[in-house]
């Protein structure tokens, strides 16, 4: 499922001549440039400040809740990078990075409140996170109003960096990952060219900006290629039983099931599909990989 799509992305990256080391170096350079921008903005507007020999960076992630696994992974990666930078002398002539880590509990209103607290109480010079597109979109008004740069490594919705109303790039928001159209088009390419599939069903989360964005691009691109969407089933993120949706999909004769969902839903969908003896190729995105993905390879219990 998802690991196959991951392979497509890696292969394409290698073809374009971009190595993992290059991404790491680019990321560190980008981070340094962000700090310079943040401090310059802070000095000019009086909104942010450095604290003596340290620079406060706000880390706003979903450390609890449904997507806590990869939010914590992102947070841990940041902590390692900050430790490495500080061990090498810090930034801006020896200042050390002081990360302020707060949990938004995977709630939009909490993500916004955390951003406000980081800005007003801790005087951070930059925001890192959140992990999801929906929570990031909730934080953007705070970053824009207070003129504090926000950098994100996993919010893939196009609206994160481009205002859909004005069609202009958001001046205080930066992204270090690909966007949803790229993911969805890669999925279509893999379904057509590698798997030879032409009849797709889609099961997506109607309450998720991330899921809806991927669903729309996949549907349009799949049809554009000459494929047929034989079923479109929507659910809400809190729905525990996917069997009614899967039963409908089973009756359509689809030869592939596209799952633009997060890993908690993906795991349940795969397990319940097995219970229904639904034998179909499933294709998902990077956020559909669960912590124990290898268990999916085990034979279903009887």
Point out the least confidently predicted range of 94-98, 99-103, 172-176, 286-290: 286-290
Planar angle of CA 103, 106, 109, nearest 5 degrees: 90
Q: What is the arithmetic mean of pLDDT over 241-260?
A: 95
pLDDT at 153 over 80: yes
pLDDT at 17 over 50: no
Q: In the chain, pLDDT over 70 holds for what percent of residues?
A: 77
Helices 2-15, 180-189: axis angle to 10 degrees equals 100
pLDDT at 295 over 60: no
Query: 82: closest CA among 57, 62, 114?
Result: 57
Same-domain status, 171 and 187: no
Q: What is the pLDDT of residue 288?
A: 53
Return the SS3 of 56.
strand
pLDDT at 260 over 80: yes
Q: Determine, yes or no, domain membership for 137.
A: yes
Q: What is the pLDDT of residue 286?
A: 64
Query: Which one-letter DSSP state was computed for residue 297?
Result: G
Q: What is the arithmetic mean of pLDDT over 289-301?
A: 53
Q: What is the arithmetic mean of pLDDT over 51-56?
A: 84
CATH number of the domain encompassing residue 273: 3.40.50.2300
More confident residue, 108 or 180: 108
Same-domain status, 233 and 278: yes
- Last residue of one domain, picked from the residues 125, 148, 175: 175
Q: What is the pLDDT of residue 285?
A: 79
Q: What is the pLDDT of residue 42?
A: 47
> Following CA atoms 41, 42, 44, 45 in sequence, which dihedral angle do they give, to the nearest 10 degrees?
100
Same-domain status, 253 and 232: yes
Across the chain, which distance is largest between two alpha carbons, in Å? Answer: 66
Q: Are 54 and 98 in contact (CB under 8 A)?
A: yes
Q: Which residues, at least 6 apart from 58, have a Cβ–Cβ distance to it below 8 Å?
A: 100, 102, 114, 115, 118, 119, 122, 124, 126, 127, 128, 148
Same-domain status, 199 and 254: yes
Q: What is the pLDDT of residue 262?
A: 84
pLDDT at 143 over 80: yes
- Helices assigned H by DSSP within the chain: 2-15, 20-45, 68-87, 108-120, 133-146, 180-189, 209-224, 243-252, 263-275
Query: 251: closest CA among 285, 280, 275?
Result: 280
Same-domain status, 158 and 229: no
Q: What is the pLDDT of residue 229?
A: 97
Same-domain status, 169 and 29: yes
pLDDT tens across 205-242, in order? 998 888 998 999 999 999 999 999 999 999 998 888 99
Same-domain status, 184 and 289: yes
Same-domain status, 47 and 152: yes
Same-domain status, 162 and 207: no
> Following CA atoms 54, 138, 147, 119 in sequence, which dihedral angle do they give, to the nearest 10 degrees?
-40
Q: What is the pLDDT of residue 237?
A: 81
Q: Determine, yes or no, domain membership for 6.
A: no
- Last residue of one domain, picked from the residues 160, 175, 190: 175
Q: Are 61 and 75 in contact (CB under 8 A)?
A: yes
Q: Which domain holds residue 242?
A: 180-297
Q: What is the pLDDT of residue 51?
A: 57
Structural tokens at position 70: 């990869």
For the chain, counts of helices (H) and of strands (E): 9, 9
- CA separation, residue 51 to residues 47, 54, 114 (Å): 13, 5, 20
What order do you get walking across the sheet with 199-205 strand by strand?
A: 228-235, 199-205, 256-259, 281-284
pLDDT at 137 over 60: yes
Q: What is the arithmetic mean of pLDDT over 44-68?
A: 77
Q: What is the pLDDT of residue 79?
A: 96
Same-domain status, 169 and 188: no
Strand partners, 205: 235
Please tell me the distance from the alpha carbon of residue 146 to that of residue 26, in angstroms, as a whole number: 27
Same-domain status, 157 and 88: yes
- Last residue of one domain, picked from the residues 175, 202, 223: 175
Q: What's the pTM value of the predicted model, to 2 decimals?
A: 0.72
pLDDT bucket at 34, cuts 50 / 70 / 90: low
Q: What's the domain count of the chain?
A: 2
């Amino acid at each position: 499922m998802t690991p196959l799509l991951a392979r497509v992305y890696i292969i394409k990256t290698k073809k374009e001549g971009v190595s993992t080391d290059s991404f790491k170096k680019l990321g560190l350079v980008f981070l340094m440039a962000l700090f310079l921008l943040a401090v310059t903005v802070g000095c000019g507007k009086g909104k942010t400040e450095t604290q003596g020999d340290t620079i406060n960076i706000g880390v706003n992630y979903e450390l609890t809740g449904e997507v806590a696994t990869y939010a914590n992974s992102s947070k841990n990666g940041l902590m390692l990078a900050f430790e490495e930078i500080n061990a090498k002398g810090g930034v801006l002539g020896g200042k050390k990075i002081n990360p302020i880590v707060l949990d938004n509990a995977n709630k939009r209103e909490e993500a916004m409140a955390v951003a406000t607290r980081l800005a007003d109480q801790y005087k951070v010079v930059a925001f890192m996170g959140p992990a999801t597109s929906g929570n990031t979109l909730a934080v953007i008004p705070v970053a824009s109003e207070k003129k504090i740069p926000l950098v994100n490594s996993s919010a893939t919705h196009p609206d994160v960096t481009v205002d859909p109303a004005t069609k202009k790039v958001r001046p205080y928001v930066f992204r270090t990952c690909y966007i949803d159209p790229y993911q969805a088009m890669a999925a279509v390419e893999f379904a057509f060219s590698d798997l030879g599939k032409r009849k797709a069903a889609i099961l997506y989360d109607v309450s998720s900006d991330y899921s809806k964005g991927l669903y729309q691009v996949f549907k349009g691109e799949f049809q554009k290629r000459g494929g047929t969407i034989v079923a479109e089933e929507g659910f809400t993120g809190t729905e525990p039983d996917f069997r009614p949706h899967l039963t409908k999909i089973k009756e359509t004769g689809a030869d592939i099931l596209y799952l633009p969902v997060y890993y908690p839903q993906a795991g349940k969908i795969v397990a319940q599909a097995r219970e229904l003896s639904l034998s179909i190729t499933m294709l998902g995105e990077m956020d559909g990989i669960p912590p124990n993905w290898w268990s999916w390879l085990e034979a279903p219990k009887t």
